[in-house]
Amino acid sequence: MQYLIREYRRDDPEDARKLADMWNESDKAWPGGFTHGVPLSAEHIQQWIGNASRLAIFVVEFGGQIVGYGDLYAQKGQNEVAYINLLSVSPAHQGKGLGRDLILTILRRTVGLGYKQLTLHTWPGNLQAVPLYKKTGFFWKPDTSVYMQNFIPTILTLPIAQEFFARHDWYRTFRRDLSVQPDDQRWKGVPVYIYEWEADNETLRVVIDREAEAVTAVETNRLSVSCSIGCERLATGLRATARWEIENRQSQPVTVGIIAQGEEGILPEVQEGAVVQERLTLEREYRLHPQARPSDANRPASKIRSTLLVDGMPIELGSGVRILPAVDILFNGCGLYCGKPERVTVNLRSYLPFPIRGRVLVEQFPGLITGTPQMPFEIEAESWSAVTMVVTPYESGVLTPRLQVVLEEALDEQKAREVGFEAPLRCRPKQIALRVLDTGKVLGSILPESNEAVLENTTLTVSISLQGGTLRVRHRLLDREVMWQEAGSLGPPFEGWQQVPRNFSARLKESAGASTLVIEMPTADDPQLILEKWITLTASSVVQVQWRVVNSGEKPFSGKLRVTTGVPRNRWIAIPLKEGILHEPVEGWGEFPLGYADLPLSESEYSEQWIAWEEDGRAVGVIWEECHEQEINPQQMCHDFIVPDVPPQGSFFLPAMYLLPEAGNWRDVRRWWVRLAEPEDEVPSSPPVVSLTEVRLEPVPLLLLEDEVQVSLSVYHRRLKSLTGTLRLQSPLAAFRKAQFVLENVNLKHPFHEQIQMVSMLAGNDAFAVQAVLDTETTSREFSLPVLKAGDLRCAFSVQQDGEVYVVDNGRMRLQVAPHFGGSLVSLEADGVNHLFSAYPEPRPFLWFNPWFGGVHPVCEELWSRILEDALFTAEPFEVYGERGFPWKGVR
Last residue of a domain, one of 644, 678, 712: 678
Using 50, 70 and 90 to split pLDDT, how confident is the model at 518?
very high
Range of the domain at 777: 691-789
Answer whether 371's CB lies under 8 Å from 389's CB: yes
Judge if 349 and 480 occupy the same domain.
no
Tens digit of each residue's pLDDT (9 = 90 or more) over 569-591: 889 999 999 999 999 998 765 67
Answer whether 428's CB lies under 8 Å from 325's CB: yes
Domain holding 761: CATH number?
2.60.40.10
Q: What φ, ψ does residue 218 adopt, rounded to 5°? A: -140, 135
> Is 223 within a domain?
no
Average pLDDT, the chain: 92
Sequence-ordered strand ranges (E) for 796-858:
798-802, 805-809, 813-818, 824-830, 833-834, 844-846, 849-852
Last residue of a domain, one of 626, 651, 678: 678
> Is 534 within a domain?
yes
| Mean pLDDT calculated for residue range 651-673 | 96
Q: What φ, ψ does residue 452 adopt, rounded to 5°? A: -145, 145
> Is 633 within a domain?
yes
Q: What φ, ψ does residue 226 adopt, rounded to 5°? A: -160, 155
Buried b (16+ CB within 10 A) or exposed e, 266-304: bbeebeeeeebeeebebebebbbebebebbbeeebbbbb
pLDDT at 551: 97
> Is 286 within a domain?
no
Look at residues 628, 633, 500, 663 and name the one whose alpha carbon lies nearest to residue 567: 633
Supply the DSSP symbol for 251: S
Kindly give, in sequence order, each residue whose CB lies less than 8 Å from that of residue 14, ignoring residues fewer than 6 positions away.
Answer: none
pLDDT at 858: 87
Supply the DSSP symbol for 822: T
Q: How many CA atoms lie within 13 A of 662 on its CB side?
A: 17
Kindly give, in sequence order, each residue whose CB lies less than 8 Å from that of residue 154, ignoring residues fewer than 6 positions away.
Answer: 116, 117, 208, 214, 215
Domain holding 581: CATH number?
2.70.98.90
Judge if 782 and 812 occupy the same domain.
no
Using 50, 70 and 90 to split pLDDT, how confident is the model at 28?
confident
Distances in whole angstroms, Cα of residue 394 to Cα of each of 391, 435, 454, 750 = 10, 12, 21, 66
Answer whether 749's CB lies under 8 Å from 720's CB: yes
Tens digit of each residue's pLDDT (9 = 90 or more) over 153-175: 999 999 999 999 999 999 999 99
pLDDT at 192: 98
Distance CA 16, CA 22 (A): 10
Answer whether 132's CB lies under 8 Å from 95's CB: no
Distance CA 267, CA 304 (A): 7
| Mean pLDDT calculated for residue range 550-562 | 95
Judge if 803 and 735 occupy the same domain.
no
> Is 536 within a domain?
yes
Judge if 541 and 671 occupy the same domain.
yes
Look at residues 642, 473, 482 and name the one whose alpha carbon lies nearest to residue 563: 642
Kindly give, in sequence order, each residue whose CB lies less than 8 Å from that of residue 98, ignoring residues fewer than 6 positions away.
Answer: 3, 60, 67, 68, 89
> Is 465 within a domain?
yes
Judge if 805 and 826 occupy the same domain.
yes
What HEC string does 89-119 produce? ECHHHCCCCHHHHHHHHHHHHHHHCCCCEEE
Kindly give, in sequence order, each residue whose CB lies less than 8 Å from that of residue 697, ignoring residues fewer than 6 positions away.
Answer: 711, 712, 713, 714, 758, 770, 785, 787
- Asked whether the predicted pLDDT for residue 558 surpasses 80, the reply is yes
> Is 440 within a domain?
no
Judge if 764 and 709 occupy the same domain.
yes
Q: Which of 177-191, 497-511, 695-709, 780-794 has the highest mean pLDDT?
A: 177-191
pLDDT at 1: 82
Last residue of a domain, one of 652, 678, 704: 678
Tens digit of each residue's pLDDT (9 = 90 or more) over 319-354: 999 999 999 999 977 778 888 999 999 999 999 999
Q: How many domains does the chain have?
A: 4
Judge if 533 and 604 occupy the same domain.
yes
Lowest pLDDT segment from 370-374, 542-546, 825-829, 862-866: 862-866
Residue 862, helix vs strand vs coil: coil
Kindly give, in sequence order, each residue whose CB lies less than 8 Å from that of residue 705, ignoring residues fewer than 6 positions away.
Answer: 790, 793, 886
Judge if 467 and 610 occupy the same domain.
yes
> Is 580 within a domain?
yes
Judge if 735 and 876 occupy the same domain.
no
Judge if 734 and 764 occupy the same domain.
yes
Judge if 458 and 527 occupy the same domain.
yes
Domain holding 335: CATH number?
2.60.40
Judge if 563 and 454 occupy the same domain.
yes
